[in-house]
Amino acid sequence: MHDLTLGAFPFLTSLAASESPRDRRIWLRVASDHFVASQASDPEAIERFAEAMAPRLNTADALTRLEIARKLAPCAQTPRKLLALFESFDSETGDYVLQHAVAYDHAALKQAVGRSMRHAVAVAKRERLSPSLISVLAKHNEAEVVAALAANDSARLDGSTLGLLLRRARDEAEQSGDRRLVDALLGRRPMRPENATLFLSATPDQRVEILLAAQRAQLGRPAGPIFAAERERLHELELAAVARQPDRFVAILAEALNCDLDLARRIVDDPSGEPLAAALAALGAANEIVVRVLISTDLSAGASYRRIRALARLNNALNRNAAMLVIAALRGETSARRRSQSPAEAGFSETSRARASHPVSRTATVIDSQLRARAR
């Protein structure tokens, strides 16, 4: 049996038994280096090494423990007994081994996720996480754990897992103002077209990146045609904007986008004007119509032409197909459904086209009559 405890070196053995913390620190350093270099495979020798290390680690200071953890974590032969001991120490050392130690298997990491939020965060930061472990972490109750997973660029977030995180991020930002998951997802590169779900929570620069990602996803697809009913609806929107009738404008926009009034109002009320510009582009509005509507809503909001600047910010990132993808995501449509639809179908359902065939929708008619009665 190969001795991994440096027993063949009397001087080093004396350091391990010394009352001096400095001497024991030297032994820990040399012993851990020797263990890593030996690439041991004898289970009995590895067990004896763990038994020799444990009492010296228990009496070591936090910095020494962290130093030894950094030496042993990259070694696949490091016994689980020592990893468990490191986990029991101060948070920095325990977190380090959970994040970096290669000797963990899937079952051990899954157990660590269930032990505490701190351990789960450390696991979420690991490289080369398995899809099944990513799925477990994505469903964790603690926002800090999920945000750590989203911030881990090496973790592959795809399909239903990404959709789950995007919806959770949107809900947490809108309901409680917690932007940790939003910021983590929008901070990943490259920007994904799926991030259109977070368009209303994104910064101006991030919105441009989302639209560009949406453009790339729509390359080679023809622009959606503009139907006569859609032109009529755009005309109604322009008239409502110019007439300073915000409630009517919101109602018409909701009908045109086939979304609820709350989403339409959030699009209109965003002070930057970028969501409204994207919505108008999704409807196929010509640039001059977008300009007139944005200027009119600038005046209605009492702003100093802040919204019209959205066109300059979005610049070439704004085209109909990309904007349609963004609006579809805001409506909660899945990526799979959007891929199976043409750009025109992604923007307008048959139901919304039927409603759009009327010069003025029922909702807009009610609001219009209310405004007329108020004017009398």
CB 36 within 8 A of CB 102: no
Residue with tokens 């099944």: 132
Give the pLDDT confidence score for residue 323 in this predicted structure. 93
Give the pLDDT confidence score for residue 154 in this predicted structure. 95
* 182-195 burial code (b ≥16 CB/10 A, e <16): bbbbbebeebbbbb
Question: What confidence tens digit (pLDDT) does each residue in 10-25 have?
Answer: 777 778 778 899 999 9
pLDDT band at 298 (very low <50, low <70, confident <90, very high): confident
**CA triplet 142, 145, 146: central angle to 5 degrees?**
90
Q: Which residue type sits at 330? A: L
CA within 13 Å, CB half, 134: 21
CB 90 within 8 A of CB 68: no
pLDDT band at 367 (very low <50, low <70, confident <90, very high): very low
Average pLDDT over residues 305-328: 85
113 or 42: which leads in pLDDT: 113
Percent of the chain with pLDDT over 70: 82
Burial class (CB within 10 angstroms; exposed 0-12, middle 13-18, buried 19+) of 181:
buried
Q: Which residues, other chains included, contact 238 with Cβ-Cβ below 8 Å and sequence gap of 6+?
A: 289, 292, 293, 296
222 or 349: which leads in pLDDT: 222
pLDDT band at 349 (very low <50, low <70, confident <90, very high): very low
In angstroms, rounded to a whole number, what is the distance separating the alpha carbons of residues 47 and 81? 8
In angstroms, rounded to a whole number, what is the distance separating the alpha carbons of residues 316 and 277? 12
Instruction: Kindly state the tokens that stand for 219.
Output: 């390359």
Give the max Cα distance, the chain. 104
CA within 13 Å, CB half, 119: 16
- Written as one string, the DSSP assignment of 330-353 is HTT--HHHHHTS-HHHHH--HHHH
Instruction: Kindly state the tokens that stand for 329.
Output: 């995501």
In angstroms, rounded to a whole number, what is the distance separating the alpha carbons of residues 65 and 25? 9
Computed over every residue of the chain, the mean pLDDT equals 84
pLDDT band at 41 (very low <50, low <70, confident <90, very high): confident
Lowest mean per-residue pLDDT among 159-168, 174-183, 298-307? 298-307
pLDDT band at 365 (very low <50, low <70, confident <90, very high): very low
Per-residue pLDDT at 317 exceeds 90: no
Q: Where are the alpha helices (DSSP H) in 243-342?
A: 246-257, 261-269, 274-282, 287-301, 309-314, 320-330, 335-339
Q: Under the phi-then-psi rule, with left for phi > 0, alpha for psi from -120 to 50, and beta for the rest, what region is 350?
A: alpha
Closest CA relative to residue 186, chosen from 220, 216, 213: 213
pTM: 0.80
pLDDT band at 103 (very low <50, low <70, confident <90, very high): very high
Per-residue pLDDT at 184 exceeds 90: yes
Per-residue pLDDT at 337 exceeds 90: no
In angstroms, rounded to a whole number, what is the distance separating the alpha carbons of residues 228 and 334? 28
CB 185 within 8 A of CB 166: yes
Give the pLDDT confidence score for residue 172 in this predicted structure. 95
